[in-house]
Structure 1
Amino acid sequence: MLLSRLLICLLVVLPSLLSPQARAAAPETPTRSMLERSRAAMRSDPEQGRKLAEQALADLDQAGAAADPDALVLAHWLLCDYHAERDRAAAEVHLGQARALLPRAPRLRASLLGCEGDLRELAGDSVQAMALYEQSVAVAEQMHEDEQRADGLYRRGYLRGVRGEFANGLFDLRLANQLYERLGMPQQALTSLNAIAILYNRMGDHAQARYYFEAALKAQQAAGLRREQAVTQHNLGRALENLKDWDAAQHAFEAVLALSREIGYPRGEAYALRGLASVRNARGDAAGALGLLDQASELHHRTPDERLRAQILLQRGIAMRLLRRPAEALSALGEAQKVFSSADSRAELATTYGELATALSDQGDWRGAFEQQQKYKAVSDELLHRQLDQRFATLKVEFDSAAKDKENQLLMREKAATERALDQERRAGALRAVVIALAALLVVVMGVLVWRHRRTSHRMQDLAMTDELTHLPNRRHVLGRLQGLLAQAQPCALLIVDLDFFKMINDAHGHLVGDDILRAIATVLRDSGRAPVELGRLGGEEFIVVLPEVDLDTAIAAAERLRLKVAELDVSRWLPDRNITISIGITLAESGDTVSSVLRRADEALYEAKRGGRNRCVARIGAMGLPPARGAAAAEAPAPTVPAGSVTS
């Protein structure tokens, strides 16, 4: 993924450095025009872009003291970015020369900090890279440079996603996207959306990531951005790899390989060969995978990228294990593990531990295999918990933002009503001495206004607690009631209901049909849950049901009745070729529980139901373990964990 990170940075940052605001600071010159052509060429023909940047730098050096310092920094920055993927020493030289010019061109300091962070990230030092990105954002904010601030937020958000800080990464990337849209920079806004898709891929939502990548690829093909096409095609291949759609993944990586060779882009070739080797390993062709990895390793010597080296080593270790050469597999996997640990790349680290455990067991080292398996489980569990925790954190950020917007709207309306009332009072004071009757009439009018204001306030309060689409209570209302039950230590059960394959329904039949189906399920919920049952819409295709004063068997029975009622719904007018089903996660509130802990437990049960085949009810309680699933596939075994040797992103 570092390939996509670096190439996306090029698309994001270079237009910022050569933006309309930057051009407005100095008159257009032949050198600046050449730099703009260089920036454009970097996205389609990197070698031509390098030649133009070097020519511009030579012209500026000839001008001596009269040279434009901003243009000098831009030229060095372009060449630093070009060499970062090919020759780290040359990139460091250009970065140092650009830094030396900062006293004469301080406006670009935040961008150079970001460039330095890119080089540290390439070297596998994510801690130092994150510190530089933090500094870049702070400097841009201090200097009121919105474009450079958006660039810094983009970099920081991407690296946070690599390190598993999904909610914070998503927050940074969305803020960067908003800044780009506000500044009228649609290509950069599209790039930030691509980064959000990469984050979704890391969180495990590979299907949604695939959707975004395919949409971006069409836009880039239409614009003729061949280098960005290679990046997005590679990202699409990684999503397909995670989905284990090997035919489609092979097609994507082959397209990356052809395009990278066409534009003379060795890093793209190396990443494409690694992807094709992963497909070969998955199909059991380890010998073929080794041949591709040898080519990728040769290209890596011209592409200084530690995580790329580690990914090649990981696939080499898998191939050696498949060929029953455990000693060589352990050597390659051990080197990969060191790099992934240093870069804090948790998903790839978990995969490497799993492969090490398998290779050690093939060698008969059962103790060593057990230790590596324990590490694999620890990192995998940590990733799963992070994904669950960050999913709730993300929902909280979205919910809090929406609630704040509604609160601000209410305050603005109250302020407007108060200002109108004060204006009426001033007019009444001026006219009171002249026309008493008019003053009395004004009092009546004020009374009407106050009455209408109070009625509006009550109406707004109702709207704030009701879901607009289904007219069920919303998340805030139901969770508030759940909080009250927990505070009173009242026993209750919590059900999270999720509509199966809802995205496929939306994609195939449109969002209007999806909305109708959500309303139909809301009707089933409303008819099934009478007081004191609390129910509402949690968000998207998820609903929530709170059952006070029930035990686990009663809650499971209620969930099963609800599942069957939904399955019996007549949806032929919307979906003539299928029925709809739901999956339900169930838990009981226990002593010491909070809203977050109860929700998390129910959500884990829901995930278990999804992994077990959907259309089922699964319960999870804290101290007593996990009861058996109930539903359409209750007799099946629990869903297996990710097998050792699979490739995650």
Structure 2
Amino acid sequence: MPSSQHDTSFSTWQDDFVRLRAVMLEEPPHRVIDVAERIAEASTDPMRVAQARQFVLAANINLRDRPGIRAALARASDAVENCPDLRLVGNFNALAAWSAYQSGSLKNCGTHLIKAERALSTMTERGEPAANAWRNLSLTYSIMGYHQEAEAAFTQMMAVSNVSLWDLGRMQAVVRCAIALDHRGDADGCATALRDLLVDIPDESELDPPSREWLNFAARRLTALGHPSGIRLSGSVDLPVFREVRLLAQACDLISAGDGEDALKVLDHPDVQGNVAGAAEPLRIRSLALSSLGRYAEALAAERQVIANISDQSDRLRPLLLDSVGALLDHEHLRKTAARYADAAMTDPLTGLPNRRRLERFVRDLVARGSDAMVGMLDLDGFKTINDTYGHATGDQVLQRVAGILARSIRIGDLLARSGGDEFVVVLPEATVADADGIGARINEAVTGDDWQRMVIDIPVSISIGWAPLKPGFVGVADALHDADQAMYRVKRSRRKRLNRA
């Protein structure tokens, strides 16, 4: 039966994986999307649907199709929520981290990397599907320049399946690690690493086409450094993700042949953008081409650009580490805040904050004691846009992040609760209107001042707060929240009017 007529009615997720992986390696990404979409639409098995959606996402990443990636990301996120299998959770987050890094959303990238590592480290599944999840995490680490982490992920990949040493994931990780040495001035170290990689290459029939592309590039890059390898492998993969590798290999060939001018023309090709081998690599090869032409001043300028690019990458990745630490600190603060309400029946499972039941008891106790208090209703602005654009998984991350920001913005003894959806409630015992306004301003500044661009690009995150005093005649939380809710909607209406006038 032709593959286009393949009957998916009685397939298992294992059958789907074998088929989709083969299509991914041998056919264009549009074909992968077509096959995976049909599986997802025809199946009622959450495992098969989630896996197929992840192949669609991977294919769109290979196409560098930004709108396609965004749509596939949202669908894959929803699908994995319905099937929280550890392999699928890990693989989804590895792909989502890759996508976030390419789009510049470093905070989101860091969150996904942590989730991927945790899920896959907990996974007990073995076999090629499990290895593929570790492969995708290894590739993401490699692309970001985290070469030790990429090697560690590849070691895990080897541990769960009988993966070839010539696997695509290892080829990319080793080559990127080698050329990173050259970018930092260690050309000899780069040459040694590339020579070690090219020793005892198996027969071409044992290599998949993408692995051959990377080995070809490694051989030509080594020759451009003055160490001829004599290795040439046949075959090519006509994908955007491999065109740049092929063009860089061609430029290296021209440099080795003494044709630096044509090498520079190849490097000016629009497909050479530094997205695959690293932004510094085209600059370094340009420097080699200029040196071969005796244009040493220009070569030196190119080398300076390499150094500047490496420094820029370091500056971009440092906030990722700091944000990850910040997120962990927020989570720890949130955990301590929620620890006072350890009863699960009183706790919101997503944020760990007290829920409406705990809020009801807290307000009732305040009223019974005759205590003064201010009640605040807090609502995220435009949260539906975040969910619709990035999917519910990212929406949940935003809610957790906001919960952490709120927890560190209130006083000891105040109550912060999640009312539901994107609404939170703050109760301030023994507080005046001025106290509430001051805390509200602090919350607004903390929420809007957070660097949301690394999590949800081009969507501002802000919060509207309405305050009302707790009145002696209140008999329940609904009474307490009514006035605050009305005040919050007045704030929202006033904000919309200001935006419309602007």
TM range (shorter): 0.5 to 0.7
Specify whether residues 120 and 145 from structure 1 end up closer, same or farther in structure 2 by C-alpha distance, changes over 3 A only.
same
* Corresponding position of 1:130: 69
Specify whether residues 119 and 209 from structure 1 end up closer, same or farther in structure 2 by C-alpha distance, changes over 3 A only.
closer
Question: 8 Å contact 1:163–1:346 — kept in the other structure?
Answer: no
Post-superposition Cα deviations, 1:277-308, rounded to whole Å, max 9, x if no partner, equal 323333x13xx36x54xx34x411xx233332
If each structure's helix is expressed as a fraction of its own residues, which one has the higher value?
A: 1
Task: List alignment gaps of at least 5 residues for structure 2.
Answer: 182-188, 347-407, 409-449, 451-502
Secondary structure (helix, strand or coil) at the match of 1:140 reads helix
Shift, 1:329, TM fit: 0.7
Question: 8 Å contact 1:216–1:232 — kept in the other structure?
Answer: no
CA distance in 2, matches of 1:371, 1:143: 53
* Corresponding position of 1:272: 215
CA distance in 1, matches of 2:140, 2:42: 38
Secondary structure (helix, strand or coil) at the match of 1:224 reads coil
Question: 8 Å contact 1:114–1:132 — kept in the other structure?
Answer: no
TM-score normalised by L of structure 2:
0.53
* Corresponding position of 2:244: 310
Question: 8 Å contact 1:206–1:239 — kept in the other structure?
Answer: yes
**Whose radius of gyration is greater, 1 or 2?**
1
Post-superposition Cα deviations, 1:124-175, rounded to whole Å, max 9, x if no partner, equal x252453144223332155355454543222111333455545432321331
* Corresponding position of 2:169: 231
Structure with greater contact order relative to length (CA < 8 Å, sep ≥ 6):
2
Amino acid at match of 1:119: A
Counterpart pick for 2:27 among 62, 87, 91: 87
State how 1:282-361 maps to structure 2 within 5 Å.
282=225, 284-285=226-227, 288=228, 292=231, 295-296=232-233, 298-300=234-236, 303-321=237-255, 323-335=257-269, 338-341=270-273, 345=275, 348-356=278-286, 359=289
Specify whether residues 81 and 92 from structure 1 end up closer, same or farther in structure 2 by C-alpha distance, changes over 3 A only.
farther
Shift, 1:109, TM fit: 4.0
CA distance in 2, matches of 1:237, 1:372: 21
Shift, 1:313, TM fit: 1.9
* Corresponding position of 2:100: 160
Secondary structure (helix, strand or coil) at the match of 2:342 reads helix
Shift, 1:386, TM fit: 0.5
CA distance in 2, matches of 1:114, 1:71: 17
CA distance in 2, matches of 1:240, 1:346: 14
Shift, 1:352, TM fit: 1.1
* Corresponding position of 1:206: 147
CA distance in 2, matches of 1:279, 1:370: 21
Question: 8 Å contact 2:212–2:235 — kept in the other structure?
Answer: yes
CA distance in 1, matches of 2:93, 2:154: 24
Amino acid at match of 1:388: R
Post-superposition Cα deviations, 1:293-339, rounded to whole Å, max 9, x if no partner, equal xx34x411xx233332312321332343354422221122122xx22
Secondary structure (helix, strand or coil) at the match of 1:246 reads helix
Specify whether residues 99 and 309 from structure 1 end up closer, same or farther in structure 2 by C-alpha distance, changes over 3 A only.
closer
Specify whether residues 189 and 400 from structure 1 end up closer, same or farther in structure 2 by C-alpha distance, changes over 3 A only.
farther
* Corresponding position of 2:325: 395
TM-score normalised by L of structure 1:
0.43
CA distance in 2, matches of 1:73, 1:313: 37
State how 1:572-587 maps to structure 2 within 5 Å.
none
Superposed CA RMSD in Å reads 4.5
Counterpart pick for 2:78 among 131, 139, 148: 139
Between 362-371 and 232-241, the greater mean CA deviation after superposition:
362-371
CA distance in 1, matches of 2:281, 2:172: 20
CA distance in 2, matches of 1:190, 1:86: 19
Shift, 1:276, TM fit: 2.9
CA distance in 1, matches of 2:101, 2:9: 35
Question: 8 Å contact 1:198–1:209 — kept in the other structure?
Answer: yes
* Corresponding position of 1:121: 61
Percent identity (aligned): 11
Question: 8 Å contact 1:320–1:329 — kept in the other structure?
Answer: yes
